[in-house]
Amino acid sequence: MRTDIVELDADHPGFNDEEYRLRRNELAAQAGAHKAGNPPPHVDYTDSENATWATVYAELSQLYPTHACCEYLDTLNGLGLSADRAPQLRDIDDYLCEKTGFHIQPVAGLVESRAFMKHLANRAFPSTTYIRHHSAPQYTPEPDLCHEILGHVPLLAVPEYADLMQLIGEGAEGASDEQITQIGRLYWYTIEFGVLRGQDKKVRAYGAGLLSSPGELAHAVEERPVMRHFDFEVARHLENPITTFQPVLFEVCSIKEAFFQVGAAIERIRHNL
Ligand SMILES: [Fe+2]
């Protein structure tokens, strides 16, 4: 009987693709064998995987100049990503380590919240290595390499954002399950779906869920779901939809403000306020 390391839901775009499922198992095994402190393993991405990367990269690159926050744009250029070849986590790890001391921890897939935040507390970012299914380059039901690299990595090279990530991780240390859930919600409405409204009053994304999804990035900036100034007392009671665009987004005026807002919210969570 066949044993899969990676279970895909029946509605996953790659569910009926045997080759894709074997590839996911192969990359999961490779990531699972990685030892913290070693450089991430080299992955020989196939022509199909590189083509999917190229499609996602091309579409998002057109939006970034007008839709991504300035901090993101500054470091995206410094990363020197290829438009047609998926990047290697080893190169990303070197880059981030030099910029902010963050490391990349390769993982097989979604990491349980407490373990994920423990990595952040240690200035390590858990990153998948697989690429979304080629039949649906605009959509992935789970984080993939495109999400990690185009959503999170450029900002992990920004000191304020790197510190924000570590702050969230440290906030989860010794927390109860309910407190972890609340910190997860903070992460969702800042790190994944946060927007900035800077001095020019334009809305720009810093959330990785927006920056790695052409459809949701365009929707957030052009069509404007409900925007509120960041308010944890509102955010903590909202559901966070996974399969639809976010109906409410929270804005801050800078990543530094996000750091202070998140710090204050963690204080409230840890004191059960
Ligand atoms: Fe993410």
Per-residue pLDDT tens digits for 42-91:
999 999 999 999 999 999 999 999 999 999 999 999 999 999 999 999 99
CA-to-CA distance for 121 and 115, rounded, in angstroms? 10
Q: Which of 3-12, 94-103, 162-171 shows the lowest mean pLDDT across its residues?
A: 3-12
Burial of 37 per CB tally in 10 Å (0-12, 13-18, 19+): exposed
Go through 6-18 and write b for each residue having 16 or more CB atoms within 10 A of its CB, e for each that does not. bebeeebbbeebe
Distance between Cα 47 and ligand 1 center (Å): 25
The pLDDT assigned to 175 comes to: 96
Q: How confident is the model at residue 241 (pLDDT cuts 50, 70, 90)?
A: confident
Q: What is the pLDDT of residue 242?
A: 79
Catalytic residue chosen out of the listed positions 212, 213, 216, 251: 212
At 239, is the pLDDT very low, low, confident or very high (cuts 50, 70, 90)? confident
Tens of pLDDT along 222-234? Answer: 887 899 999 999 9
User: Which distant-in-sequence residues (6+ apart) come within 8 Å of 107 by Cβ?
Assistant: 31, 126, 127, 128
- Catalytic residue status for 147: yes
Contact in structure between 229 and 251 (CB atoms under 8 Å) = yes
CA 182 to chain centre: 18
Structure confidence at residue 12 (pLDDT):
92
Q: Is 212 a catalytic residue?
A: yes
**Residue 2, pLDDT above cutoff 70:** no
Question: Which pLDDT score, from 0 to 100, does residue 58 have?
Answer: 97
Cα 66 from Cα 203, distance rounded (Å): 9
Q: What is the pLDDT of residue 56?
A: 97
Residue 152 known to be catalytic:
yes
Q: Cα of 209 to ligand 1 centre, how many Å?
A: 6
Q: What's the whole-number mean pLDDT along residues 136-140? A: 87
Ligand 1 centroid, distance to 127 Cα (angstroms): 9
Q: What is the pLDDT at residue 178?
A: 95
pLDDT, mean of residues 15-31: 95
Cα distance between residue 69 and residue 28, in whole Å: 32
What's the Cα-to-Cα distance from 100 to each of 175, 211, 222, 251, rounded to whole Å?
A: 26, 20, 32, 24
Band (pLDDT 50/70/90 cuts) for residue 244 is confident
113 annotated active-site? no
**Active-site position among 12, 147, 148, 213:** 147
**CA-wise closest residue to 194 among 138, 253, 121, 149:** 253
CA 148 – ligand 1 centroid, Å: 6
pLDDT at 1 over 70: no
| CA–CA gap between residue 5 and residue 93 (Å, rounded) | 25
The single-letter DSSP state of residue 221 is I
Mean predicted confidence (pLDDT) in 84-108: 97
Q: What is the pLDDT of residue 31?
A: 95
Distance, CA of 15 to CA of 28 (rounded, Å): 16
Which two structure tokens, joined as six digits, stand for 160? Answer: 């304020």
- pLDDT per position as a tens digit, 159-172: 999 999 999 999 99
Which residue in the list 71, 192, 216, 251 is annotated as catalytic?
192
Does 5 have pLDDT greater than 90? no
- pLDDT value at residue 262: 97
- Asked whether the beta carbons of 256 and 101 are under 8 A apart, the reply is no
CA distance 81 to 57: 9
- Give distance in angstroms: CA of 147 to centre of ligand 1: 6
Interval between CA 151 and ligand 1 midpoint (Å): 7
CA distance 158 to 96: 9
C-alpha of 234 from chain center: 23
Mean pLDDT of the chain: 94
Question: Which listed residue (12, 71, 152, 251) is catalytic?
Answer: 152
Cα of 2 vs centre of ligand 1, distance in Å, is 30
- Distance CA(91)–CA(77), nearest Å, equals 15
> What is the pLDDT confidence band of residue 190, given thresholds at 50, 70 and 90?
very high
Q: In the predicted model, what is the mean pLDDT of residues 10-37?
A: 93
Count Cβ atoms within 10 A of the Cβ of residue 102 and give its class: 0-12 exposed, 13-18 middle, 19 or more buried.
buried
List the CATH code of the domain at 18-26+36-270: 1.10.800.10
DSSP assigned state of 242: S
Collapsing DSSP to helix, strand or coil, 197 comes out as: strand
Question: What is the CA(207)–ligand 1 centre distance, in A?
Answer: 8
- Neighbouring CB atoms inside 10 A of 36's CB total 10
